[in-house]
Chains A and B, each alone.
Chain A
Amino acid sequence: MVHLSSLLLKKYHGGHVVIRLALAGHKQANRPFYRIVAAYNKRARDGRYIEQLGSYDPLPNIYNEKLVSFNFDRLKYWIGCGAHPTKPVAKLLGLAGFFPLHPMTITEAERQRVQTEKTETNTDMCQVTLDNTQVTI
């Protein structure tokens, strides 16, 4: 990968830039909020980052929405400079449409669908047997 951005600041040798979720406001318990951030690989998760590229709120709001924001311009720049996005960031971007849909998102959705169908058929079977027994009675 071509490291176009010079690794200044803290003199890292052999480190690379990642785009990941950093927990913001971690002094508050039971209320997570993530910042989508470009940082060096070896830095702490919530430590110093190079640039903030967006945010992600995992708890749904009053309209049952989970809000995500991205700065696509700077994101393109960092990926062009050779930054690696992490799995959750890649999944979010896939859902947003910027990246292709992550394979695991599709497989997880399929599994979920199979699960719900199974539980539905189970309940239907239970319902049917109950009706049968009632009829017999």
Chain B
Amino acid sequence: MFQVIGGRSVPAARLLAPRSAVLVEAVRGRKSRTDPVAKSKEGRIKVPPPVDPVEMVVLKERYTEYQLIMSALRLEFKEEVLRKKYEEETGSQAEERVRQEAEEHRSLMAWNNEENLQISFCQEAEEAQRKKIEAAIQREQEQQEFIKEKEREILQLQEEVKNFITVENLDQRIEEALDNPKNYNFAIDKEGRVVKQTALQ
């Protein structure tokens, strides 16, 4: 059914349009429940189409036959569906399919395991190499540290050499020691005050 033009009511459209043009606009449900019945339809009594008894009898017979055949067809189709489902689940081909799938699964798993083994071997080889490299680096580092330690010791010794007492310094050092008597005695109290003045000189 055609819709109302632009929201304007149909009579207005009819007025605006030329009188000669035939406007057959059938708009379903144009009236709401509360609208009154049209004047032309006031005394209208809706009558169903007349029934021919002979035709009705023949029709009833045809309908019974039709329904019989239809129910039989339906049962047949239902049976076919059930049979197909049954064969799908527990048929002769179902077992073969299951077996084939299991075999495929096994072969695929075996292949997968082989691949995994190979990959693990490669990984092991790589790891061994990496470990060797790391060990070499570690050893080099340790050597360098050792060398540094030794150098530090040498430097320390060189500095200490200045304070050594040798054969030439002996007399000089003895005289120095005798000239400068050192007093290592001191007293300290609980507040941390040191007292270096003692009874000994």
Contact = CB atoms under 8 A, between A and B. Distances in A.
Interface of A: 2, 4, 76-77, 79-82, 99-100, 102-103, 106-107, 110
Nearest to A111: B55
B60 to A, nearest CB: 9
Contact of A107 (B55, B79, B82): B55
Contacts of B70: 99-100
Contact of A103 (B59, B77, B85): B59
16 contacts: A4-B81, A76-B77, A76-B81, A77-B81, A79-B74, A79-B78, A80-B78, A81-B78, A82-B78, A99-B69, A100-B69, A100-B70, A106-B62, A107-B55, A107-B62, A110-B55
A86 to B, nearest CB: 13
B81 A80 contact: yes
Contacts of A76: 77, 80-81
A29 to B, nearest CB: 9
Nearest to A106: B62
Contacts of A79: 73-74, 77-78
Contacts of A106: 62
Interface residues of B, number: 18
B97 to A, nearest CB: 21
B121 interface: no
Given A79-B73, A107-B55, A107-B59, A2 B78 contact: yes
Interface residue SS majority, chain B: helix
Contact of B73 (A2, A99, A107): A99
A103 B63 CA distance: 6
A99 B78 CA distance: 15
B50 to A, nearest CB: 13
Given A76-B80, A79-B77, A80-B78, A103 B55 contact: no
Given A100-B66, A102-B66, A103-B66, A81 B81 contact: yes
Given A80-B80, A100-B66, A100-B69, 9 more contacts: A2-B78, A4-B85, A76-B80, A82-B78, A99-B69, A99-B70, A100-B65, A103-B59, A107-B59
Contacts of B55: 107, 110
Interface in B43-83: 55, 58-59, 62-63, 65-66, 69-70, 73-74, 77-82
B62 A80 contact: no
B63 to A, nearest CB: 5
Nearest to A102: B66
